[in-house]
Amino acid sequence: MPLTATSHVVDLAIRSGTAALAFNVITLEHAQAIAAACERTGLPAILAVSHNAVRHHGDDPAAILDACAAVARRCRLPLSLHLDHVEDPELAVAAPDLGCTSVMFDASRLPHDENVRVTAEVTRRLHARGVWVEAELGEIGGKDGVHAATARTDPADAAAYVAATGVDALAVAVGSSHAMTTRTARLDQDLIARLRDAVDVPLVLHGSSGVPEEELRAAVRNGMRKINFGTHLNTAFTAAVREALAATDRVDPRRYLAAGRAAAAEAA
């Protein structure tokens, strides 16, 4: 089917009181695994290609995005294509030319005022081309990064940031952390509810791989509308590859990549 807009996938979740799931793609096998999971569950999803993944593919965004687009078009369920954690404004505004209908523009490393200024300009340019924009305001006054487990997004700061930038979704810090391989994080559920009431755009949870399922369900009940997974799939993928390699001395990479793809599909 044709590529689906990320805004449509998120709107479906909002109307059903659930959350849209975004899965990070590093290789073609990741994209195929996510598409397989969609078809097995009958649910839509978002293929998220990070700026780091683009760098991995030789700084050529089309190398992985064209492959993802082909996988999405062959999927019988809605799949959208999203650029994630993009730090380069010019890469962000190139999103529609690369087949993406959404961008998470990440200026959280910048001083707050500069973050607001650059994000507002990128959002203006992307909205002119019909692209949905997610962003994050950063940990104001902090040094550990917005997605450190100790970081928290202030509702008043969140409301001011959304109003100043015009973004369509806001990634918030509520207790999760990137790259966790154990599901031990605890979310600030009261804060999620207060953020939901403070802003008029969907809330996004990054670092969800380290969050137990019951915590994620509670977060959705409290207003989280987009949930991002990366490490969860990579953990399953890598474990299956290791097992497949240990079981044979053959050198054909298709054998272990197929095992990784199947495990990532099950995880998704």
**pLDDT tops 60 at residue 11:** yes
CATH fold group of domain 6-267: TIM Barrel (3.20.20)
**Calpha distance 217→84 (Å, rounded):** 23
Q: Please report, for the chain, the start and end positions of each structural domain, with discontinuous segments joined by +.
A: 6-267
**Calpha distance 243→257 (Å, rounded):** 11
Task: Label residue 141 by pLDDT band (50, 70, 90).
Answer: very low
What's the mean pLDDT in 216-220?
Answer: 94
Choose, from 59, 60, 84, 200, the residue flagged as catalytic: 84
Task: Report the residue count for the chain.
Answer: 268
**pLDDT tops 50 at residue 144:** no
**pLDDT tops 70 at residue 167:** yes
| 169-171 and 224-229 beta bridge pairing | unpaired
What's the mean pLDDT in 11-27?
Answer: 96
pLDDT for the residue numbered 3: 85
pLDDT for the residue numbered 121: 98
- 84 catalytic residue (yes or no): yes
**pLDDT tops 60 at residue 142:** no
Report the percentage of the chain scoring pLDDT > 70.
91
Report the percentage of the chain scoring pLDDT > 90.
80
pLDDT for the residue numbered 139: 56
Task: Label residue 107 by pLDDT band (50, 70, 90).
Answer: very high
What's the mean pLDDT in 30-40?
Answer: 98
What's the mean pLDDT in 129-146?
Answer: 71
Q: Are 153 and 175 in contact (CB under 8 A)?
A: no
Cα dist from 103 to 94, 125, 159, 171, 243, whole Å: 10, 12, 20, 12, 35
Task: Label residue 174 by pLDDT band (50, 70, 90).
Answer: confident
**pLDDT tops 80 at residue 151:** no
